[in-house]
Amino acid sequence: MIGKLSGIIDSYGDDWVILDVAGVGYEVHCSARTLQALPRPGERASLAIETYVREDAIRLYGFAGDLEREWFRILNTVQGVGTRVALGILGVFPPGELATAIALQDKAQLARAPGVGRRLAERLVTELKDKAPAFSAADPAVVHLTAELAEKRAPQPVADAVSALTNLGYGQIQASAAIAAAARAAGEAASTQELIRLGLKELSR
């Protein structure tokens, strides 16, 4: 299997690049984000490669680095995500942002990617929520609280405080982050009113 290719950029297509390696031109399919980051034809480039072998074809997928390739592999484990949708997702989200969106169960954010509707976004956060935090830049406390709220396991004062902030017009993730910070400061015995007050103070910073 091919794991990496280094050579000269020959030409580009809509979703592929021809990489000339010692006189052999390899057609490599990439996300829009990866293609945009590659140099002009005639210049050198390196791509991490995922090789797909089928009965009728061998197809190469290229990535800016090993982390992007790993997310391509992870995404393809989800039912309804093929190679095209996986590349579409990676074209919209850098790996860190993708991991954060999944860790925070931000389905609306994920639905921005081409080919990802409401149901597939739901499946992504459900099936990958345990894998994403390791790659995410999100505060672990916010990830934990988001999961508790989604599964209706959060303490009632915390859930009520998040609900109050969302009713005031703040986004679910923004409200969860503020209340997670408030809960850290106030302790487990904090009332809903105290959490709301501290959460609003956090949001005003």
Domains plus CATH for the chain? 4-63 (2.40.50.140), 66-135 (1.10.150.20), 140-203 (no CATH)
**pLDDT (tens digit per residue) in 103-151:** 888 888 899 999 999 999 999 998 988 777 566 555 666 666 666 766 6
User: Distance between CA atoms of 98 and 109, rounded to whole angstroms?
Assistant: 9
Q: From CA 48, how far away is CA 45, in angstroms rounded?
A: 10
Residue 19, pLDDT above cutoff 70 = yes
User: What is the C-alpha separation between 194 and 183, in angstroms, rounded?
Assistant: 9
**Is the separation of the CB atoms in 177 and 103 below 8 Å?**
no
Please give the Cα distance from 5 to 62 (Å, whole number). 9
What pLDDT score does 151 carry? 65
Among 20-24, 77-81, 129-133, where is mean pLDDT lowest? 129-133
